[in-house]
Amino acid sequence: MKSLIARCSDINSQYCPCLLAETNHCVFCTKLQGTNTCECNWSGICIMYEKHWKEKMKNNKTGSSVRLAYESSVLSKTQVGAQTYLFEILTDQVLADKLNVIGSFVFLRRTNDIESFYFPVGVVKVIDNKISVIVEGIGAKSQRFLSNSDDDLIIKGPYFNGVLGKPWIDNIMDGKILLVAGGIGQAPALPIIKKLMENKNTITAIVAPGKVGNVFIGDLLEKNDVLLHTVTSLRKVGFPKLRELIMENNDVIVSAGPDGQHSAIIRLMNEIGVNIPMVATNNATMCCGEGICGSCHKLIQDNKIVKMCKVQTEYKTIMQD
């Protein structure tokens, strides 16, 4: 099976070189990590060159390499599950255009809250200058966000590393996909499903309500001819079903849900001896999204630490706590 080359999700975007390159902690350029050799495996851009020579347009919404905060407003709020709401938000057109890719996410806070209240949330849909996100009230930040009924909010973005194994989704056409979605994992599954359908892939899905208590993507999946198995619990019913489906020559498996779900799928594949590419939602705790704060760091094989807000890597390489 081909494997993915770990790379930064900001490369080739206007957000590279970033603050890490400025501080000699670039996750990709070995020279910008303080070594004397170049081992970057040319990706179409020399970050070293960009850092030293290219003029970046500063303080300009279209050219700034720093992510900006945009005043935005809630157009609608719809409950889709227990403590879980779908928001349609009117925002800046330039920001919305950049968010129209798999794995994009933003940081949100209410206008009157201080910066510490920013929390990350995946973008599930973009139409013109309107974006949709699904927020589950599970912690101090998201609950505070939900408890405020103002329409005004601040969005910081765009960020791109919400899905690990994204190239598998971007590149597969006419393939056979097995999708497992649990609870709030249904939200990041939505743009993945849309992209897979556009590329004429066939999808079989196992979906469980989880703590959200509702399979809110069921109608959409059925409308798009996805073969849907709705189960009350992935652990009790979903995994025995998955065991059957996983042996049916799938091209890619997608796990949208908590890390425990990703790990259980990997164990199942190892047990059965199935080795196919896996796409997994990125559940790392994130505070800055810029590779600086350290909250998202994970240990992977070879004893390396990766910044999950930046680096595309295979979920199976992450060492479990």
In the complex, least distance from residue 162 CB atom to ligand FES, rounded to whole angstroms = 12
φ/ψ of 182, rounded to 5, equals -130, 135
75 lies in the site for ligand FES, by CB under 6 A: no
309 lies in the site for ligand FES, by CB under 6 A: yes
In the complex, least distance from residue 29 CB atom to ligand FES, rounded to whole angstroms = 17
In the complex, least distance from residue 315 CB atom to ligand FES, rounded to whole angstroms = 16
CA 231 to chain centre: 24
In the complex, least distance from residue 159 CB atom to ligand FES, rounded to whole angstroms = 9
In the complex, least distance from residue 153 CB atom to ligand FES, rounded to whole angstroms = 20
Residue 289, judged by CB atoms within 10 A of its CB (0-12, 13-18, 19+), counts as: buried
Neighbours of 117 (CB within 10 A): 17
Binding mask 112-141 toward ligand FES (x if CB under 6 A, else -) reads: ------------------------------
Nearer to ligand FES, 27 or 231 (CB): 27
CA 166 to chain centre: 8
In the complex, least distance from residue 292 CB atom to ligand FES, rounded to whole angstroms = 5
In the complex, least distance from residue 296 CB atom to ligand FES, rounded to whole angstroms = 3
List own/partner pairs for 18-26 with CB under 8 A and 24 or more apart.
18/65, 18/290, 18/291, 19/290, 19/291, 19/292, 20/290, 20/291, 20/292, 20/310, 21/47, 21/50, 21/51, 22/51, 25/291
Nearer to ligand FES, 217 or 296 (CB): 296
In whole angstroms, how large is the CA radius of gyration of the chain?
Answer: 20
Nearer to ligand FES, 133 or 217 (CB): 133
Binding mask 278-307 toward ligand FES (x if CB under 6 A, else -) reads: --------xxxx-xxxxxx----------x
Nearer to ligand FES, 23 or 270 (CB): 23
In the complex, least distance from residue 161 CB atom to ligand FES, rounded to whole angstroms = 9
Nearer to ligand FES, 84 or 109 (CB): 109
90 lies in the site for ligand FES, by CB under 6 A: no
Nearer to ligand FES, 20 or 252 (CB): 20
Q: List Cα–Cα distances, 317 to 9, 71, 92, 107, 193, in angstroms.
A: 17, 38, 37, 27, 24
Nearer to ligand FES, 262 or 307 (CB): 307
Interface residues with ligand FES (CB under 6 A)? 286-289, 291-296, 307, 309
